Amino acid sequence: MSCDQDSTRGIPLLGEKFPEMEVQTTHGKMLLPEAFAGKWFVLFSHPGDFTPVCTTEFVAFAKMHEEFRKENCELIGLSVDQVFSHIKWVEWIKEKLEVEVTFPVIADGSANVAKTLGMIHPGKGTNTVRAVFFVDPEGKIRLMMYYPQEIGRNMHEVLRAIRALKMSDENKVAMPANWPKNDFLGDKVIIPPATDEKTAKERLSKYDCYDWWFCTKEL
């Protein structure tokens, strides 16, 4: 899908391909999702440059950028500000807060990207909400988060989600609440439920099970 369409699109569905689009960023023009082919990437939007909550978020993402890269994941920000505003804001963060923003920031002045991805919500004006899109190495949207303008995000949760998605893909397992620090499972993972009686019985002896439908294992 081109991001040059005038109409506002609804929120994408999980599993859909990230729409192909050329974007202007602080690192030059990029073609998404092609620019991150073979990697995970997290695209996150913020309401506006030179605002307090957004500044705290950019500092947090910047400080954790290398942690994301260790997971073969890149970061890319977005707002409807112009590119010169992004550049000046990034310079301000480095000068005043001594933190270098090393990821690109999309200048979506026409709001085409924001409309395509459903980042502009009724009742929140023309600025983008705090949306987060997790895109896998095949260019598919795997997870989405939406926060109102008033609430800053938890970047440790964003990183945890990337790690959980990768773990799930690599091992064909599910992750419990608060993984890897679940209240009673700790860092164990959950085996997908059996789909026939034979497999259900086998799993009772093969894994640690509370019942045939609730089996776990260590990785």
Q: Collect all residues with Cβ–Cβ distance below 8 Å to 119 and sequence separation of at least 6.
A: 45, 78, 113, 128, 129, 131
**What is the predicted pLDDT for the residue at 123?**
64
Residue 106 bridge partners (DSSP)? 25, 78
Give pLDDT, residue 125.
60
Omega prior to 180 cis, within 30 of 0: yes
Cα(166)–Cα(40) distance, integer angstroms: 9
Sheet of 105-107, strand order:
28-32, 21-25, 105-107, 73-79, 40-45, 130-135, 141-147
How many other CB atoms sit within 10 Å of the CB of residue 101? 22
Count how many residues are written for the chain.
219
Question: Can you list the domains of the chain with their CATH numbers?
Answer: 21-153 (3.40.30.10), 172-219 (3.30.1020.10)
- The CA distances from residue 100 to 28, 211, 216, in Å, are 17, 50, 42
Q: Three-state SS for 168? A: helix
Task: Give, for all 219 residues of the chain, the pLDDT tens digit.
Answer: 344 444 445 789 999 999 999 999 999 999 999 999 999 999 999 999 999 999 999 999 999 999 999 999 999 999 989 999 999 999 999 999 999 999 999 999 888 898 899 887 766 666 788 999 999 999 999 999 999 889 999 999 999 999 999 999 999 999 999 999 999 999 999 999 889 999 999 999 999 999 999 999 999
What would the two tokens of residue 123 be?
């009742």
- The span from the CA of 186 to the CA of 180, in Å, is 6
Residue 94 region by backbone torsions, left for phi larger than 0, else alpha for psi between -120 and 50, else beta: alpha
Q: What is the pLDDT of residue 87?
A: 97
CA-nearest of 101, 107, 119, 106 to 60 is 101
Catalytic residues: 54
